[in-house]
Amino acid sequence: MGFEQIDSTNVAEVGGKGMHLGELSRIDGIRVPDGFCVTTDAFQRVVAEAPSLDAQLDPLSRVKPDDRAAIRTLSADIRRVIEGVALPDDLVAAIGESLARLGEQASYAVRSSATAEDLPTASFAGQQDSYLNIVGPEAILRHVRRCWASLFTERAVTYRCRNGFDHRKVRMAVVVQRMVFPDAAGILFTADPVTSNRKIATVEAGWGLGEALVSGLVAGDVYTVRDDRVVTASVATKPRFLRASPEGGTQDAPIEPQRQTQPALTDAQVVRLVRLGRRIEAHFGRPQDIEWCLVGDDFHIVQSRPITTLFPVPEADDQENHVYVSVGHQQMMTDAMKPLGLSVWQLTTPRPMHEAGGRLFVDVAPVLGTPAGRAYLLGTLGKSDPLIRDALQTVLDRGDFLRSLPDGGSGAAPAGDPPAPIETDPAVVTQLIRHSEASVATLQREIRTLSGPALLDFILADIAELKRILFSPQSHQVIMAGMEATWWLNDHLETWLGEKNAADALTQSVPHNVTSEMGLALLDVADTIRPHADVVAFLQRVADEGREGDDFLDELAGLAGGREARDAIRGYLDEYGMRCAGEIDITRTRWSEHPATLVPAILGNIKNFEPGAGKRRFDQGLQESRRKEQELLTRLRALPHGEQKAEETKRMIDRVRTFAGYREYPKYGMVSRYFVYKQALLREADRLVRSGTLREREDIFFLRFQELQEVVRANDVDAELILERREAFRSYETLTPPRVLTSDGEAITGRYRRDDAPPGALAGLPVSAGTVEGRARVVMDMAQADLEAGDILVTAYTDPSWTPLFVAAAGLVTEVGGLMTHGAVIAREYGLPAVVGVEQATRLIRDGQRIRVHGTDGYVEILA
């Protein structure tokens, strides 16, 4: 197929690279060297006629991505087969005709173009091979076969293994394109590849062929451009370049000394190139990574692909500037969420939210625009997450991004007087909890018999009840009373006594903390199982095999002590089985659905603790908090006006101990409701599968709640939409969401502006006082955790589902979190030194390293 025959509908025939070249050749004003594609049909035909290949693909499909030796051997065998195949006569003739049309003895680039390459959701750039300056039909045919074979290079096979692509389903086309021999060449990114800012383009340029830059052989000049103006220019010393070799192929050659430090492009050429790039970007509808050549004063475009590493920008239907703050960083759940999870969470929360990359964001630009709103937001976020505060301050310091609004406008801080201080009455907390429990019981009773549209309407109405409970003024008052008492104690006791984070010790073993109780309750489950060796051995096999589902619980009954063990685990699941990692996403698998998730934590408790550890841990925390209270009050009484200070402090200690535990309950109540909804929706999904409307029950996870309502009413679904959503979700899972994102697409991480940490230490937010030294266990999946007593848990984020691991840990380090997020609250409750918000902690700290966690001052040292 000639480039002129190719458009976006032909990707299955010509691959990503071929499709983009066809589309590029259709854009007015864009010069693309002429060429053609050998289609995937040719590849499939040739492969089908090599029967030994099919047998070799079987072992390759079973190989692990980390088994480099097996991949090396198997892929080399497959490449040898493909490079040796005979080409059909009609294919040889078709290629010959195209070469005759373009110039048989001209020089060509022969480039691989896989069907899973250069796509919006997966860039396989560099995974397959390209060959430059190939001359003559025989050489071109040989290099076509080599391109096909490069589908099975080690790096290509490993990439597909890691990203879940089936080796049998990826097809290879080959691009054959007239060579241009440029004076300069390079790469243009129409969005900044480092900051993701869509308004800034980056140009890299060097002498000769661009392959030297693309492959990293040489460094080039780097220009950044904004609004048709070169903002920065860095001219590199360019001692070598890549040029066409007279006998075919390319060669590395020196550059004469006087040209080595000359810029490869003028500023005017850079701006002109970026304008061409913007035209290409507009055609494809997303930022592009473009390869270009300069011949004389003319730019030729030889490739364009989407930049797949950029975090998407929330859609806005205006021309205003927006500043988006990540909801996931506040909720300790930064993973991508499926559409049903996103929509149910949005229905639950009162604030308007914006979606991007499978995550939710709140636009704080209107609040930041007013003096009062700005002070309120920065003050609030400064307490909970200093990195978000600093990122927002970075935007404000630029001075030209946000419009200033007068106080009292739509962006002003919440108005009205603060609520009156709540009385320190424990009955308030028990009453709120009882009301929530009764409401969930009513929901469970009333939803049982519902199906069809009536079920979806009922859930929508019940979400209104959930919101009423979740955001009731009294509930909010109780939570704020506990938080404000904590802040008061920390501020005043540091001023009066020089005691940092004093409230951390005072909040150990507070009553009514459902999350900390959950961790201690699993110690009781371990106590039931510990005496029965056969049960322990069986559970170890369950963990080793990575069992799923709950079948293993039934198998327990046949073992000595197995019935007691089964009943203990089921009793725990009755109380806490609605929890799981990322639990704000209703689509995530709950412990009740996959109880084996808990088995490693149970086994760890059996190994690391003596019987009765649960009650002992709670009692020790209670004694420590009382001891600390007496010590502080005694020291206060020795100060001027000491009795008054001690009396105020005692009142705040009582308040924090009465109300701090309730902080964890509203989310528990919400997740309890979510699990009831999920079970009912999955029953409905099974009905839709039986009727042939859905292919599988999990398809409902890729529909928004309102879309699911329509599917249930009409008994009809857009299968293509579900497939698109599944593919999009896979791509979102690979992205890291920023704390703050602007409408220009710029991701701003923020930094800690303090100098109290020693050189080389990793800075973070101190959330639970104390210092501890131990072995770092870097854990990304709770089901794979293997903690021993004294280990320090290092992970990306923790939500309540991680609490069972806190029991065994001696300290905590996370990449995400704030002063009042769940991990911080439970770390204080258990007396674990903890530092959160440590950027890239799971990459900078290696599993097994010794580290020291400074939970009072907020940094982590990596020890020798």
Instruction: Count CA within 13 A, CB hemisphere, residue 88.
Output: 14
The Cα 794–Cα 814 span in angstroms is: 6
The DSSP symbol for 828 reads H
Sole residue written with tokens 């369950």: 542
The pair of three-digit structure tokens given for residue 775, joined into one six-digit string: 């072995």
The pair of three-digit structure tokens given for residue 265, joined into one six-digit string: 């492009």
The pair of three-digit structure tokens given for residue 762, joined into one six-digit string: 């990793």
Q: Which amino acid is at 156?
A: A
The Cα 801–Cα 823 span in angstroms is: 10
Where would I find the beta strands (DSSP E) of 63-209? Answer: 107-114, 130-135, 172-178, 184-189, 200-207
Sole residue written with tokens 């080595």: 260
**DSSP of 390-454, one letter per residue?**
HHHHHHHHHSSSS----TTSTTPPP-SPPPPPPP--HHHHHHHHHHHHHHHHHHHHHHTT--HHH
The Cα 785–Cα 777 span in angstroms is: 8
**DSSP of 341-389, one letter per residue?**
HHHHHHHHSSS--EEETTEEEEE-HHHHTSHHHHHHHHHHHHHH-HHHH
Residues 6+ apart with CB under 8 A from 30: 24, 276, 279, 280, 301
Active site residue 492: no
The Cα 819–Cα 832 span in angstroms is: 14
CB 345 within 8 A of CB 466: no
Which is nearest to 150 in space by CA: 293, 15, 6, 308? 15
Rg (C-alpha) for the chain, rounded Å, is: 31
The Cα 107–Cα 133 span in angstroms is: 5
Instruction: Classify residue 565 by burial, with Cβ atoms within 10 Å: 0-12, 13-18, 19+.
Output: buried
The Cα 352–Cα 336 span in angstroms is: 19
Q: Which amino acid is at 10?
A: N
Which phi and psi angles does 265 have, rounded to 5°?
A: -135, 150
The Cα 707–Cα 339 span in angstroms is: 10
The Cα 66–Cα 250 span in angstroms is: 33
Q: Which amino acid is at 196?
A: S
Polymer length in residues for the chain? 864
Alpha helices in 448-472 (DSSP H): 452-470
Inter-CA distances, 62 with 58, 131, 157, 236, 540, Å = 7, 31, 12, 46, 25
Q: Which amino acid is at 32?
A: V
The Cα 197–Cα 224 span in angstroms is: 11
Q: What is the dihedral of CA 750, 756, 762, 768, to 10 degrees?
A: -90
Where would I find the beta strands (DSSP E) of 97-249? Answer: 107-114, 130-135, 172-178, 184-189, 200-207, 221-226, 229-234, 240-244
Residue of 20, 329, 822, 854 marked catalytic: 822
CB 816 within 8 A of CB 840: no
The pair of three-digit structure tokens given for residue 353, joined into one six-digit string: 């939210």
Active site residues: 822
